[in-house]
């Protein structure tokens, strides 16, 4: 499991798309921190420590699904298409394959988010642990969704297309139902990670439970799939 995990983790750093996305995240982080410093110094206002995390949190919530889909949309079906998965299942269990793949992607994003908050800490003089927890809770759900899609759809091209459409539509639909007064659709807000992220406080921990549920679904579907 850990071999698969670290292989996936290292593989993500070798992609040009990964480098571009990491550069975007770091760029937004630096720009936001610099902007918050300018506002604080010139206008003599107290923006609060959490203000420094606004940029990275915004990019994670708005583009997180899209970034993850673009990098890992074929995390499972790529191996199935190339017949590599048949070799893997002879060496380890399907459960360990799914968990290993998930943890590899999760560690990659944890590295990106953690490093971004380290950059923020140099400016804010405070390490925002809660901001990391908030972002990683949301990202955990996005990774789990991405993995489930890769199990369901047999071809990488299909998951790439569906992943992009989902990444663009899901945030819009989520915010619509969260702010909707229609009782027939407002219940959907409980199935979106945005709802718990917006509630804040300890509600953000619900997203980790949400991610575990999706991961278990992915394991069940993968165990039933023919390779």
- Low-confidence residues of the chain: pLDDT under 50: 40-41, 43-49
Quick: pLDDT tens for 91-145. 889 999 999 999 999 999 999 899 888 877 777 677 778 888 999 999 999 999 9
Would you give the DSSP letter of residue 82? T
Would you say 178 and 189 are in contact if contact means Cβ atoms under 8 Å apart? yes
d(CA 106, CA 45) in angstroms, rounded, equals 37
Would you say 177 and 189 are in contact if contact means Cβ atoms under 8 Å apart? yes
Task: State if pTM tops 0.85.
Answer: yes
């Amino acid at each position: 499991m850990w071999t698969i995990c670290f292989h996936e983790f290292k593989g993500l750093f070798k992609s040009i798309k990964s480098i571009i996305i990491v550069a975007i995240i770091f760029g937004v982080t630096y720009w936001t921190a610099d902007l918050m410093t300018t506002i604080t110094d010139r206008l003599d206002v107290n923006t609060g420590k959490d203000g420094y995390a606004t940029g990275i949190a915004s990019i994670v919530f708005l583009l997180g699904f899209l970034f993850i889909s673009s990098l890992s949309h074929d995390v499972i079906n790529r191996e199935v298409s190339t017949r590599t998965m048949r070799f893997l299942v002879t060496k380890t269990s399907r459960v360990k394959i799914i968990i290993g793949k998930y943890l590899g992607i999760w560690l990659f994003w944890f590295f990106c988010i953690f490093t971004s908050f380290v950059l923020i800490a140099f400016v804010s003089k405070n390490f925002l642990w809660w901001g990391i927890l908030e972002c990683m809770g949301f990202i955990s759900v996005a990774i789990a969704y991405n993995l489930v899609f890769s199990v369901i759809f047999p071809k990488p091209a299909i998951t790439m297309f569906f992943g992009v459409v989902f990444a663009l539509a899901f945030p819009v639909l989520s915010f619509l139902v969260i702010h909707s007064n229609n009782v027939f659709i407002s219940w959907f807000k409980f199935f979106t990670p945005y709802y718990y992220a917006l509630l804040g406080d300890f509600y953000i921990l619900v997203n980790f439970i949400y991610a575990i549920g999706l991961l278990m679904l992915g394991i069940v579907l993968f165990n039933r799939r023919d390779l």
